[in-house]
Chain A
Amino acid sequence: MSRIGRAAERVAERFDIPAFPGAPRLTLLGSRRLHIERHRGILEYGTDFISVNCGRSVLGIFGASLELRSMSAEELLITGDISRLEFS
């Protein structure tokens, strides 16, 4: 991350602003529906594990009967029995 990006992140943290520039926005509805905005693509796709490139980190979605309901260049909608989310 550039110096400007790090500075912006610090300012956002200091002022408790919920948005980070370029960071993905995740909306989890219970454990059945996960909506991801500003993703960078899918790295792995399976019924029990989906890995999503979120830019600075990779999001791993663990669960069962995972399904990609819709996908566009900006957004992803994953449904299924989501058991765990992990950033790496």
Chain B
Amino acid sequence: MQRALSLLRGVVRVEIICRHPERFLNLCASNDVELWGLERVGDAPDAGEIRGGVVLRVYMRASGFLRMRPLSGEHGFEIRRVTRRGAPVLIRKLRRRYILIAGLVMCVFITRALSLFVWDIRVLGNERVPAARILESLKTLGFSYGSFGPAIKSEQLANELILEIPELSWFAVNISGSRADVLVRERVLPPEIVYGDTPSMVVAKKSGVILKLSVLEGAALVKPGDTVEKGELLVTGILDSRGSGRRAVHALAEIEARTWYEFSAKMPSASVVKRYTGEKKRRRAIIIAGKKINLYFSSGILWSSYDKITETRRLTLPGGGLLPVSLVTDSFLRYEPVSTRQSLERAEATLKSGLTKRLRDAVGDGEIIAVVWDTREENGAVTVTLRAECREQIAEARGFTEAELPKSELSKSEFSKIH
């Protein structure tokens, strides 16, 4: 710290020729001149004024040198400056370089002026609402990259944004320098309410043969072993009893059934693959505060077939700070479509994998009992057919139709309230 301060005030390396070094050192101490880095160079040359003396080199502050120089004649030593360093030397060097000084002043001014604008926006606190949607809405409200920071009215922006995006419940903008942190809180939507007492029926969501039936509420219309069609009524929600007459209930049942599926997929035996020719073209562009500036003149690509790969790289400062500048590189890779005949096994494997996934999606939590595959190759195409037997839940609740409702129990207005 002491040395840094000395550099700021200017440091000189001086050469002293004297007969008695200790006297010079004591003179410095008594004049409050601090010394460091003392080095004995050797004996003084005989041709000089001081014969039989020694040559010393030492660092001292520029002010110390100016204090010691007038004492040289009186105390019998010679002192001369060898080098000088520090801020005063630098300022003296730069004093006549007007353009450089003007550049420095301009640089400081521009940096200060640019720091008043928003160059980086971070959206924090969002989980369901994408950041791109929030940024797009903010843009329509006049807040985006390049906005003037002091002119941003956070509260007004918050009110307008919440109207724009109803999923948000709270919003705030914190601006520090040229970075804006957009803090949001998402609205917690109330869960969907399922009314357990709403009259409903249970129907079959798939065709099949019923294996097991457990009715929790309502009256069963089918029994194990029955074959049912998709949409067929399985459990009714209308109960008729001697005591309470006809009444509507929320029918509830677990119905397991054997179901069958048949899926087919087709694929041409010959397929087109890309063969890259090795030719490559690059187009570069810079995005400054959301504005794209192309660094090329002709954007036309004359090739008929090519892949385009876009790579966007945000420029950063050495400390990790983001700059409002992104470098976009579009790479175009030329290829020629080549028709190749693929093996039957490979085509079959591809199709089987797709059909298996389709079957799993269709069955859901159900169990696949047996699968039969059929592969045929005809007219230049491979066709794979899947036939599967499964075991799954087929019960599905549905509301009452107006005709099904017991008229004595519910009026028309009540029906419309339910639905």
Chain A residues with a Cβ under 8 A of chain B = 41-45, 47, 51, 67-73
Q: Is the CB of B29 within 8 A of A70?
A: no
Closest to A68 in B: B38
**From A43, which residue of chain B is reached at the shortest CB distance?**
B22
Q: Which 8 A-B pairs have the closest CB atoms?
A: A70-B36, A41-B26, A42-B22, A45-B22, A45-B21, A68-B38, A72-B34, A71-B35
Contacts of B34 in A (CB 8 A): 70-72
**Known pairs A45-B20, A45-B21, A70-B36. 6 more at Cβ < 8 A?**
A41-B29, A42-B22, A42-B26, A45-B22, A71-B28, A71-B36
Roughly how many angstroms separate A72 CA and B35 CA in the complex, as a whole number?
6
B70 at the interface (CB under 8 A from A): no
Docked complex: B13-65 residues within 8 A CB-CB of A: 20-22, 25-26, 28-30, 32, 34-40
Residue of B nearest to A78 (CB): B38
Given A41-B30, A73-B30, A73-B32, A67 contacting B25 (CB threshold 8 A): no
Q: B25 to chain A: which residues have CB within 8 Å?
A: 41-42, 45, 68, 71
Provide the bound-state CA to CA distance between A10 and B213, in Å: 109
Which residue in chain A gives the minimum CB-CB distance to B38?
A: A68
Q: Which of A42, A44, A51 has the most CB of B within 10 A?
A: A42
Q: Pick the contact of B38 from A51, A69, A72 — CB < 8 Å?
A: A69
B37 near A71 with CB under 8 A, answer: no
Q: Which residues of the other chain, A, contact B22 by a CB distance below 8 angstroms?
A: 41-45, 51
Residues of B within 8 A of A42 (CB): 21-22, 25-26
**25 intermolecular pairs with C-beta atoms under 8 Å apart:** A41-B25, A41-B26, A41-B29, A41-B30, A42-B22, A42-B26, A45-B22, A45-B25, A47-B40, A51-B22, A67-B39, A67-B40, A69-B37, A69-B38, A70-B34, A70-B37, A71-B25, A71-B29, A71-B34, A71-B35, A71-B36, A71-B38, A73-B29, A73-B30, A73-B32
Q: Could you tell me the distance in whole angstroms from the C-beta of B240 to the nearest C-beta in chain A?
A: 107
What DSSP secondary structure best describes chain B's contact surface?
A: mixed
With a CB–CB cut-off of 8 A, which chain B residues contact A71?
A: 25, 28-29, 34-36, 38
A45 contacts across to B, CB distance below 8 A: 20-22, 25
B269 to chain A, nearest CB (A): 88
Binary A-proximity of B147-173 (CB < 8 A = 1, otherwise 0): 000000000000000000000000000
**Minimum CB–CB distance for A74 against chain B, Å:** 8
Query: Residues of B contacting A72 with CB < 8 Å?
Result: 29, 32, 34-35
Say which residue of B20, B26, B29, B38 sits within 8 Å of A67 (CB atoms). B38
| B30 pairs with A70, CB closer than 8 A | no
- Chain A residues with CB under 8 A of B36: 69-71
Shortest Cβ distance from residue A68 to the other chain B in the assembled complex, whole angstroms: 4
CB nearest neighbor in B for A71 = B35
Residues of chain B lying within 8 A (CB to CB) of residue A73? 29-30, 32
Nearest CB on B from A78, distance (A): 10
Instruction: Kindly provide the distance from the CB of A70 to the nearest chain B CB, expressed in whole angstroms.
Output: 4
Contacting residues, chain B, for A67 (C-beta < 8 A)? 38-40
A54 to chain B, nearest CB (A): 13
A51 to B21, CA, bound (A): 12
Chain A residues near B30 (CB-CB < 8 A):
41, 73
Given contacts A45-B21, A47-B40, contact A70 B26 (CB under 8 A): no
Interface centre among B21, B29, B32 (most CB of A within 10 A): B29
- Chain B residues near A69: list those with CB within 8 A: 36-38
Cα(A45)–Cα(B26), bound, Å: 11
User: Given the complex, which residues of B lie within 8 Å of A44, measured CB to CB?
Assistant: 22
Whole-angstrom distance between the alpha carbons of A42 and B24 in the complex?
9
B336 to chain A, nearest CB (A): 76
Identity of the chain A residue whose Cβ is nearest the Cβ of B27 in the assembled complex:
A41
- Which residue of A is nearest B39, CB measured? A67
Q: CB-nearest residue of chain B relative to A70?
A: B36
CA distance A13 to B56 in the complex (A): 42
A47 and B26 CA atoms in complex are apart in Å by 17
Q: In the complex, A73→B35 CA distance in Å? A: 10
How far apart are the CA atoms of A43 and B26 in the complex, in Å?
8
Task: Determine how close the nearest CB of chain A comes to the CB of B75; give it in whole angstroms.
Answer: 14
Q: How far is the CA of A47 from the CA of B21 in the complex (A)?
A: 11
